[in-house]
Amino acid sequence: MKDLNGKIVVIIGASQGIGRAVALRMAKEGCTLCLIARNTVFLNQVMEDTRLGSDKIFSYPMDASDFAILGGTLKSIESKFGAIDILINTAGLGTFKRFTETNYSEVIQPMLLPYASAMIACHAVIPGMMSRKMGHIINMTSPAGYIPMPYMVPYTSSRFAMVGLSLSLYEEMLGTGVGVTLICPGIVNTGYFERNNASLSWFPRITKYLPKSEPEEIAQVVVTAILKEKKEVIFPFSLRLFVRLVQTFPEVSIKFLKLLGLWTPANLEKGE
C-alpha cells in the first residue's frame, strides 16, 4: 500500500494505549477512522483528539469479545463506507500470576481478546479486501507470543495464537493483494499493566534490561509496516535480537538466563 490518505481504517482497541496512538497517527494521514472500544469515555476523548487531524472519525462503542456484535459492526461499516482498507487489532487482556491462582474468567478472557476477536475481524474484512485485491491487516502480539514465559500462561497462550494467526494468514494471502503484518513491541508505556492487574514483577528479570517504548513510536511502526507491506516487525531491535536468539536456541537460552538469575520473576525472589 503506497498511500494511506482516504483509506477506510478500523481500529479495534482504539480508546487507550497503542490503539489511541495509532488513531491519532492515522488521522494525520488523512484516513477515515472507525474506532472500536469498550470504554465510551476514553473513546469519546480519542474522537475529540483525532478530530484535530481529521473530521472523518466514527466511533463504535462495544465489547469486541462479543463476536456477533463485532461481526455485525464490521458489516455495517462496510455497508456505509465500502470495503475496509485497513484493519488494526490492538485490543488485549490478560493478567499475570500463577496458573493455579487464575479463575476461569482470567483463563478464557485473553483468548477472547485479542485472539478470537482478531480472528473474527479478519474473517469479516478479508472477503472485501480480496474482491478489490487491496487491503492490509495489522495484528499485535508481545514477546510472550514467541517465548514460553511462565506465570502468565493464559496471556502467553493468546499471544502465541496471535503469532500463528498472522503468520499463517500472511502465507495464505500472498498474491491476493491483502497484506498481513504481525507487530511485536516490547514493554510500551500504555498503562496496560495497571488496567489489567498485571504486575511487571511476574515478568522474568531479563525484561528490565530491554528498552521501553512510547505508544507514538509503535504507531509509526504500524504506518511504516503498512506502507512497506512488512510481514513481521519486532520492535525495538534489541528485542528482536533477544527473541530470535531464544527461538534459535530455546533450551540453551532459557538455561543460560536461569543461570544468570534473569528468568525468575522478581516477586518470587521475595517469596511472594
What Å distances lie between residue 66 and 19, 38, 73, 188, 272, CA to CA? 19, 11, 11, 27, 36
Query: How far is it, in rounded angstroms, from Cα 61 to Cα 209?
Result: 37
Residue 53 is predicted with a pLDDT of: 60
Q: What is the pTM of this model?
A: 0.94
Query: How far is it, in rounded angstroms, from Cα 164 to Cα 168?
Result: 6
- Fold (CATH) for 8-269: Rossmann fold (3.40.50)
Residue 1 is predicted with a pLDDT of: 85
Residue 74 is predicted with a pLDDT of: 98
Residue ranges in the chain whose pLDDT is less than 50: none
Residue 46 is predicted with a pLDDT of: 94
Residue 194 is predicted with a pLDDT of: 73
Domain boundaries, the chain: 8-269
Query: How far is it, in rounded angstroms, from Cα 127 to Cα 109?
Result: 27
